[in-house]
Amino acid sequence: MIPLTAQQIADAVGGRLVGVADADGVVCTCATTDSREAGPGCLFIAKPGEATDGHRFIGAAAAAGAVLNLAERETLDEAGSPNPSVLVDDVVLAMGRLAREVLRLLRAAGTVTVLGITGSAGKTTTKDLLAGILGEQGPTVAPVGSYNGEVGVPLTIFRADHSTRYLVIEMGANAVGNIRYLCDIVAPDYGAVLKVGTAHAGEFGGVENIALTKGELAEGASAGVALNADDPRVAPMASRAGAPVAYFGVRGRHVTDRLASPAGEASLVEARDLRTDASGCPSFRLVLPGGEEHEVASQLIGEHHVYNLLAAATLAHLVGVPGEAVARSLSSQRAGSRYRMERTDRPDGVTVINDAYNANPESMAAALRTLAQMGRDAEPPRRTWAVLGAMLELGEVSVAEHDKLGRDVVRLNIAQLIAVGPEARPVYNAALLEGSWGEEAIWVETAEEAERVLEESLRPGDIVLLKSSNGAGLRFLGDRVAQSPAGDTRPDQTSMEERR
């Protein structure tokens, strides 16, 4: 974080200083909402939360070295004196105002380029890929895990300093206007919209509202917009763009080959000759505007990742990264955040694919196709297991989408299905109606029951996919299954998480 005095912070957020004798002498050089991460010179952000209240930890933050608090009410230290604080009506809104000021100062003093990413799925993977590419070109700051909301975006910005060349921002939303709010904070130079799906349709009030919201990034980017040409709800966002448009897509799947934006003729980044290997990893020829071509052999699992790879490549191309460097980086990177098609090969020959950080109908279908392909293309073929939990926040279409999921499992010839939890019961019912018989499909109420079934039934060579929404908690079951039997089986990715 760039150094800021208590007075600068108070001015930026419109707050009132208390317990500060010298407002220009107190200088903050870092910021956190977690008192366990506080250190010397830290601004502690006392954010009220669903489970606890950050004001309770002001004392712990001070003991760790925090010199100032951003708070909604006055608190006292052990001596009965006010803790040094900037008081505001709403800490989360104040975080946004402070982040906006930090970016203003960074832009005034340097050459930082801000890139935003949104979409119903793939944001975190694309963010990780783009950060990997840009990190080879200059100092790059990107979100930790899935820090992508009104709290996570400011926290990401606070990690930038005057050396930062690229700032990658992941943008999540659960209501119309959320992306516009984040754009008002970060003023992105470039933006990418990955796809519009049915994730959180219940919260949004329908998929059209999701498209309306994701398109707010197209409106907010000032220098360039990357749009998925193969998504019929994303491609038309060109009409909302205030900057030149670059499309990305897979050869043969385009809604149209080329679309013009209001700001000028669009360019196109393509994947040609797309194929997947026996491990489910996609390879393709990356074709950049002007016809430059490079081979990409990704280490990510799942053909659906081609759009994340293309989006990262398009943004990198827009900021001037050489095509050869883009392709080399995309080919070398593994999953950067946990629970995204995270593969663990156990010593006994069982492969565990833990993709249970998030789920929606589109990502579920993609993961199941990958599982089926991995089992089918192996030599010899491998038995496949789909351990599926609830897809949350789907609203009135929830039962229908879970029903479709169960039918897809059978149609893809996945050998074994375990549906976990009450909301996943329609998955099991649909599998039975589609023709699953015997013990090919079962329903259990808890993850613990699913774990017992797997312990008793898994055999060498099996592939197990665990997939659910974050709130269903199957990612923790995935960790336990991956770590049993004992051995060097822990996945090599670690990260912090936010909300989606």
Q: What single DSSP character describes residue 483?
A: T
pLDDT on residue 452 = 96
Kindly tell me if the per-residue pLDDT of 493 is higher than 90.
no
**pLDDT confidence band for 146 (50 / 70 / 90):** confident
pLDDT on residue 199 = 62
Kindly tell me if the per-residue pLDDT of 193 is higher than 50.
yes
**pLDDT confidence band for 198 (50 / 70 / 90):** confident
Amino acid at 172: G
**pLDDT confidence band for 491 (50 / 70 / 90):** very low
Q: Which helix (H) or strand (E) holds 323?
A: helix 323-332
CA 87, CA 46: separation in Å to the nearest integer? 10
- CA geometry: angle at 106 spanning 100 and 107, to 5°? 90
**pLDDT confidence band for 23 (50 / 70 / 90):** very high
pLDDT on residue 318 = 97
Matching residue, tokens 């898994």: 458
Q: Do 347 and 487 form a contact (C-beta atoms < 8 A)?
A: yes
- CA geometry: angle at 171 spanning 170 and 174, to 5°? 145
CA 9, CA 32: separation in Å to the nearest integer? 14
**pLDDT confidence band for 82 (50 / 70 / 90):** very high
CATH 3.40.1190.10 fits 110-332, yes or no: yes
Please give the residue that has the higher pLDDT: either 299 or 498.
Answer: 299
Per-residue pLDDT, averaged over 42-65, amounts to 94
Which residues is 420 bridged to in the sheet? Answer: 444
pLDDT on residue 495 = 31
CATH 3.90.190.20 fits 342-482, yes or no: yes
Q: Do 122 and 307 form a contact (C-beta atoms < 8 A)?
A: yes
Mean pLDDT of the chain: 92
Q: Which is nearest to 226 in space by CA: 148, 296, 130?
A: 130
Per-residue pLDDT, averaged over 276-304, amounts to 95
pLDDT on residue 52 = 86
Amino acid at 387: V
pLDDT on residue 202 = 62
CA dihedral for 309, 143, 366, 217, sign (positive or negative): negative
pLDDT on residue 254 = 65
CA 28, CA 102: separation in Å to the nearest integer? 12
**pLDDT confidence band for 266 (50 / 70 / 90):** low
pLDDT on residue 201 = 63
pLDDT on residue 257 = 46
Collect all residues with Cβ–Cβ distance below 8 Å to 56 and sequence separation of at least 6: none
Per-residue pLDDT, averaged over 135-159, amounts to 95
Kindly tell me if the per-residue pLDDT of 490 is higher than 90.
no
- CATH 3.40.1190.10 in the chain is located at 110-332
Q: Which helix (H) or strand (E) holds 268?
A: strand 267-276
pLDDT tens digits, 297-308: 999 999 999 999
- CATH 3.40.1390.10 in the chain is located at 4-92
**pLDDT confidence band for 485 (50 / 70 / 90):** low
pLDDT tens digits, 424-463: 999 999 999 999 988 899 999 999 999 999 999 999 999 9
- CATH 3.90.190.20 in the chain is located at 342-482
CA 480, CA 338: separation in Å to the nearest integer? 14
Listing DSSP states for 293-311 in one string gives EEEEE--SSSGGGHHHHHH
Per-residue pLDDT, averaged over 404-428, amounts to 97
Collect all residues with Cβ–Cβ distance below 8 Å to 245 and sequence separation of at least 6: 224, 225, 226, 227, 238, 259, 260, 261, 263, 266, 267
pLDDT tens digits, 150-180: 999 999 999 999 999 999 999 999 899 999 9
Q: Do 229 and 247 form a contact (C-beta atoms < 8 A)?
A: yes
Which residues is 92 bridged to in the sheet? Answer: none
* CA R_g for the chain: 24
CA 473, CA 387: separation in Å to the nearest integer? 12
Q: Which helix (H) or strand (E) holds 248?
A: strand 245-250
- CA terminus-to-terminus distance, the chain: 24
Matching residue, tokens 């479709």: 404
Per-residue pLDDT, averaged over 473-497, amounts to 65
How many other C-beta atoms lie within 10 A of the C-beta of residue 434? 15
Matching residue, tokens 């592939």: 463
Matching residue, tokens 């933050």: 61
Q: What is the pTM of this model?
A: 0.89
Per-residue pLDDT, averaged over 266-291, amounts to 94
pLDDT on residue 497 = 33
**How large a percentage of the chain has pLDDT more than 70?**
93
How do strand 245-250 and strand 190-193 relate by DSSP bridges? unpaired
pLDDT on residue 471 = 87
Sheet of 30-32, strands arranged across: 16-18, 85-87, 68-71, 42-45, 30-32
pLDDT tens digits, 322-378: 999 999 999 999 988 888 899 999 999 999 999 998 888 999 999 999 999 999 999
Residue 259 φ/ψ region, left for φ over 0, alpha for ψ in the -120 to 50 degree band, beta for the rest: beta
CA 499, CA 160: separation in Å to the nearest integer? 21
Q: Which CATH number fits domain 4-92: 3.20.20.10, 3.40.1390.10, 3.40.47.10, 3.30.360.10?
A: 3.40.1390.10
How many other C-beta atoms lie within 10 A of the C-beta of residue 433? 12
